[in-house]
Amino acid sequence: MSSPRVFFLVVAVAVAAAIAQPEATVPGAPKTASTRLLEAGAKVLQHNSPLAPMDIHLVGFHPLKDDPHHQMEAHHFCRQVNEDFAQCVLFDGHGREARLNGIEYIISEQLFNGLPAEERRFWHPHNAEILSGQLVGPGLPDVAEKALMRKKMNSYGKTWHVWMEPDQLPLGPAQLAWSFNRDGELKPELLARRDRALDIDTVKKRAERADLALLARPQSGVDALAGAFPGARPIPGVVDAASTAASAPGR
């Protein structure tokens, strides 16, 4: 079969598959056949995408820093740029119709410690997410997932969400998100829904990661949302750096 015929056959198959996909619930007219044809052609011909290396899938939860009771499940698709820096695109799910709703940069403790004080207020700590079992790598073998979490201990993330209400357009300014750092902050129904959907046992993961607490160092920002959740309980190994400094001898 000649190359042009192969190309048009591939495009036709891709278009048929695209037509079979349900539309996302977002304001706007359904895709036309010409739009689907353009998408299918681009998929066949354009391969040099910066999204291709973003093959690390992490799932966790984010509250907005200025509105901590506004909480969401966050699917991260990440590229580890080097040992100290990763960049992620965020979606509200992991299927083809998931909505892109944010970005997150992840840096090591070493890079965080080099930031000026004014900048540090944008970066949330990760130890609680890891030790609680909230942050997971779905589909990875347990050994590989734990190795990944070990590498993320003491790291920090800077996260901006841009789509707050999924059935509306992404309106308004970007919102800085944070992490959960105590038991009782995350809405239990969000955790339960995630665990059912991905067949995950968070309690088991938490127990399996208990030894990682030995690697945990005090982190900045652990107490940032404490006032919003007065009944929350500490997570072993998760300590705010400011409280540690305040209790040091000579203070």
Q: What is the pLDDT of residues 99-129, one digit of tens each?
A: 999 999 999 999 999 999 999 999 999 999 9
pLDDT band for position 11 (cuts 50, 70, 90): very low
Which DSSP category does 77 fall into?
Answer: E
* Count of beta carbons in the 10 Å neighbourhood of residue 46: 8
pLDDT band with cut points at 50, 70 and 90 for residue 33: confident
d(CA 180, CA 125): 9
C-alpha torsion sign, points 85, 90, 94, 96: negative
- How high is the pLDDT of residue 37? 56
pLDDT beyond 80 at 13: no
Buried b (16+ CB within 10 A) or exposed e, 47-69: eeeeeeebeebbbbbbbbbeebe
Q: What is the pLDDT of residue 166?
A: 79
Reported confidence tier of residue 32, pLDDT bands at 50, 70, 90: confident
Statement: residue 2 has pLDDT above 50: no
Give the other-Cβ count within 10 Å of 81's Cβ.
12
d(CA 183, CA 229): 10
Kind of pairing between the strands at 85-91 and 175-176: unpaired
Residues 167 and 183: their CA atoms lie apart, in Å, by: 30
CA 72, CA 167: separation in Å to the nearest integer? 14
pLDDT score of 215: 98
* Digit-coded pLDDT (tens) for 146-182: 999 999 999 999 999 999 887 889 999 999 999 999 9
Q: Is residue 136 over pLDDT 90?
A: yes
Q: What is the pLDDT of residue 206?
A: 98
Asked if 62 and 159 touch (Cβ cutoff 8 Å), the reply is yes
Average pLDDT, the chain: 86
Question: What is the per-residue pLDDT for 249?
Answer: 53
According to DSSP, the β-strands at 85-91 and 100-107 are antiparallel
- The contacts found for 184-187 with CB under 8 angstroms, 24 or more apart, are 184/229, 184/231, 184/232, 184/233, 185/63, 185/68, 185/225, 185/228, 185/229, 185/232, 186/61, 186/63, 186/71, 186/134, 187/71
* The pLDDT of residue 4: 46
Task: Read off the pLDDT of each residue in 35-55 and give the average, rounded to a whole number.
Answer: 63
CA 147 to chain centre: 18
Q: Please determine, for residue 251, whether its predicted confidence score (pLDDT) is greater than 80.
A: no
The larger pLDDT score, comparing residue 20 to residue 216, is at: 216
Confidence of residue 185 (pLDDT cuts 50, 70, 90): very high
Residue of 30 and 145 predicted with greater confidence: 145
Cα–Cα distance between 135 and 179 in angstroms, integer? 10
Per-residue pLDDT for 142 more than 60? yes
Lowest mean pLDDT: which of 36-50, 87-101, 209-223? 36-50
Q: How far is residue 209's CA from residue 216's CA, in Å, rounded to a whole number?
A: 12
User: Span 71-93, mean pLDDT?
Assistant: 96
pLDDT at 244 over 80: no
